[in-house]
Structure 1
């Protein structure tokens, strides 16, 4: 409902605008919608492309880091294996007897000072063997008693590994020799060592500085927009203390917990993370050997800002361009619609009654065509006004003449009435009936209140006419009326049938020498939206030449000459046809059909128009 009301308000507001403002509004709307759609689509595509490039770049970075980490893993494993595989070392620590000074010195010189034992890889910080022998004489920096490390958090975990390796990240380390804290974070490989009888001998530790183990993580950040950190098996986060990216972007413990949760639950290696309304790209990889995740956090703030900047700049340029184009459109439409406004002013003058206003609009465009037709309309209106004035003057003159005729007709009606009474007194009833019919005909002819009557009234008039004609003919005329009751109220012009019946008697029935009585049939029927009245006589008929000439005369064909109608045949029919065409149109009128020696039929085509309340009785 709210949407419908808004649409209606917009429609009402738009409908009240002028044509010029509508054109500018439509032009602006049709221009802005594609521009804004294009801007957002292109900016979104640009943003997606930049994000894709960033993802590829950081995935490559983190994969390269993983490759380096795997190399360091192998180096530390190799160092651990070197210690475990040293038979003399294992035999020395397995021998629980008290050793002589000479044996200790020889072992010290051959193993403890050996570079191979010190480190297989120069990146390894130290290698230490913790022996489960309280009586062992420690040989620094390799051999230490195991009870030194039993309190360390990783000791129990190593023992539970049952001889398999354990990797451990250290934020801080303690040198056993000095017992001084070492703030350099390390990663250590721990592994339990057993003798040939599967007895516990101790454990070894291979340690490497985290900055050597994770070189990319500890390398200086050039763009300051990303940082790599590690999540160990205990869900603890290890970062490079020298990097300030995560601290500057206010990544706190809860944010790391959210990241760990999403990485664990969703199982996605990359996704977008929002922190303080800033988008970050999170790309991670699993280091299966360490059971740890390496995560790279990349800020997309700069990319997002640049995308918005490009988008806003494009929109601003589009708006400026639109303003320029709208101004040009307004000016151009003003020039184009100048003729329309001038035509509107002329129409207003005509509305005030000035039909003589001059319309000076020329050209070949639509408004010039409209002005041309408007000029023609004004010319026809002025012509119709002049005709109406003339008709009004003629009507007044006709009314005066009709008034005079009415005065004279009273004397005639009274005289006919007196003659009728004398005929009835003398018993001349035929004469009396003829006088009655004659009086009715005269009243029907003289009483001219309207051009239109109903078919029923015309039929009554024809009956009176036929009755009078029977007095002057040697034989009786028969009038047959076959008209449905529903068509008795059909409209037609007054005195349309009498000229046709008169023409049938004069030119069809009277010249016939046949012994049969003259017959005139009046029939009416309806077809779709038209009514047809057909008057048929059984007179002499016409051949095809005379019939064609008569129809051409009625239709006033241009090929017909008035010299061809010297006998006067068809003049009454022509007048009836012209009256029908004048009042109803060119598609209506008369049509004559005839067969020589048989019949003549005149068909009148009229529009189907019923006059309500007319008397349908014949």
Structure 2
């Protein structure tokens, strides 16, 4: 006890300081993460502003446009562009300063570059040649000549970047700004305890922090930062210093992208006082425990050791392989609790042994079933191949081609090694299906493909397009009036924004408006409502239940989310189109062809 007390007294301060340092390092890391998120938000917003095609066309005008054109542009394009960019409430300003004399200003986004040429950072931004330059400072008369002028003088963090025209000619400056209170959220927030405060120091030595924090009651932020050590690397550095009668600890980190230092300043007076009080209390407790334990140790030894020996003998039997040992140790104290849990442990071990034996038997049975299924599949493939060869020998090439397509469909359907395949694999499966159905319908089916090259490797759910095509063939051929007419099924795919859109269109007689509305509603309705609706539609001939489309839609929702799935469009007497929307994902693998 004396040795332990001596060690605890000498080590208490170090452990307390380590815990305090770790806690405040975590606060610093959280703020770094917040800053990184804000940087990404601002860069993403700037990229959106520069990638808008219609706005780029406007910035590249080579002639003066009349007032009517400008009003239409403002109401149609600029309004939606502005709303889209400012949908993040943390973004304070997004400005495009242009040098094009034909471009008219649209407050507050499109402005003349002449407004900022006298700014100190202008030449630095141009010298970056399209790279991002970060600037932190007061927004004093940033837009000279405008109505708001220097109103507010809010400190802001600004992303500045030169943009160019397609020929490489200087086009202007992009500015995305965020108030420092939003950019350094925890620095200006109230989540920290009164003994610590985050401070951001810019490249010019300016200090940004909550000046009303309790930590700055005895000294200003600038005077405290002047005593702290600021590193030039991203690794955190801890330094301690004293100012007046108070002790401080500064945890500093450098952010090279912004060229700023982020410092978590901690006042140590309360922590050191708590350590001293804890030491004094610990000394009193140690002396009392030494007296008490001296009296209890003799009685505890004789009470505990006997039942522990019983447990020891039981453990030796278990080690020798006997798991059916009875442990006659009871009671409500720690040893009795240990005996109870030891009995439960032995019972659980016996259950696991029995489960493992059953699992091994089940595994062997599953292996036999899998082997049997493989044998059955190979038997079917070989049988189809023999039939195909017989058909070719007899000159029945239509039957031979149909068997080839059927074999491809069977291999695709039975070899279910994964739930996702490439679009090209699913299209091959549809081609086999159409080839087989053309045998039935005497060549009255025509499949057209209009798939963008970037969609061929698109990830799709396996067997998700075939039910849609089958649905189009079933209803389209039933409604085909002319004996000489053809049902054309068109499968098209293209990329729209971040989505891949796949459309299956047939030139059948279409779906009436009311029936189309009910069909789209049945795709996402609750199961009980769907069953009731399905029972009503099945009682009437000519109306489909939509179960195939509903199953595909549910698979898409479960795989990708509620915003993806199916939608049915139709014009009665003209066409029916099923639109599948997927996230644009490239699948590097896919089913073997």
- Larger relative contact order (Cα-Cα within 8 Å, sequence gap ≥ 6): 1
User: TM-score, length-normalised on structure 1?
Assistant: 0.42
Q: Which of the pair has more CA radius of gyration?
A: 1
User: TM-score, length-normalised on structure 2?
Assistant: 0.44
